[in-house]
Amino acid sequence: MQRVKLFEAAHKGLRNALSQFSFLLGKCDFNNSVDIAKLHSLGKDVFMMLSTHANDENSVILTALEEKIPGSSKQDMEDHERLEQEQDAIEKLLDDIKELNAKGAEASGSGAELYIKFSKFHGDYLLHTVEEETETQRLLWENFTDQELHAMRGKIIGRFTPEAFEKWQSYIMPAITQSDLLMMLGGMKANAPEQFTKLVVMAEKFLPAEEFTAIKEKLK
């Protein structure tokens, strides 16, 4: 029986968002206000998700793990602090570029700097997620039951506003396997019909039509 993977769905959503930002950043004409507006809007999604995720891991998952094994959360916590500092610098630079463009000033130099800084951050962040999905997840499996892990996930989800939850799903749903999506929707259908209805609406909105039709058929 497959155990609960506490990080997987969120990390797939984050990888999706980060990759989209990296792609758009590489194509961005930093003297084009439309390109910059699109990049800035996507960046705000990415930075919101990164901040929320780090806070949820620190205050729920890593806090619980630290209580079981003192010192076990040290590396992840330190990684979060370091990555947050890099993220803040990138977000400020993105805001500065938008402001430069609004003033009609040249932003290509700042854009080149943003590209390099984000590329380094992107690589660092992916390595961090792999560490969590292997070493941290192993510690969670060794020290918590699946019921306890489900409770942690529920506590995290319960913190989201409806708007934030939908934003996360817009990146998670297209990035997870169809079987995992069916498992999530099937569980909601059995245990939380109102939430299930909302998730189906989101799935139709965020998935390709063909994929949504196949999922809907399997949920009957």
Q: What is the CATH number of the domain that holds 83?
A: 1.20.120
In a domain, 26, yes or no: yes
CA proximity to 187, closest of 210, 157, 166, 145: 157
- Rg, Å, the chain Cα set: 19
Q: Tens place of pLDDT for every residue, the chain, 220 residues?
A: 689 999 999 999 999 999 999 999 999 999 999 999 999 999 999 999 999 999 999 999 999 999 999 999 999 999 999 999 999 999 999 999 999 999 999 999 999 999 999 999 999 999 999 999 999 999 999 999 999 999 999 899 999 999 999 999 999 999 999 999 998 888 888 877 888 899 999 999 999 999 999 998 888 7
Lookup: tokens for 173: 């749903």
Question: How high is the pLDDT of residue 32?
Answer: 96
In a domain, 35, yes or no: yes
Number of structural domains (the chain) is 1
**H runs (alpha helix) in the chain:** 8-27, 33-56, 63-68, 74-102, 108-131, 137-143, 146-157, 162-172, 178-191, 193-206, 209-218
Note down the domain range covering 92. 8-145
CB of 68 closer than 8 Å to CB of 62: no
Question: How high is the pLDDT of residue 1?
Answer: 66
> Cα separation of 148 and 48, whole Å?
27
In a domain, 204, yes or no: no
CA proximity to 66, closest of 200, 57, 1, 164: 57
Question: How high is the pLDDT of residue 186?
Answer: 85
> Cα separation of 70 and 77, whole Å?
13
DSSP result, 125-160? HHHHHHHIIIIIHHHHHHHS-HHHHHHHHHHHHTT-
Question: How high is the pLDDT of residue 219?
Answer: 86
CA proximity to 36, closest of 95, 85, 91: 95
Tokens 């997620």, residue?
129
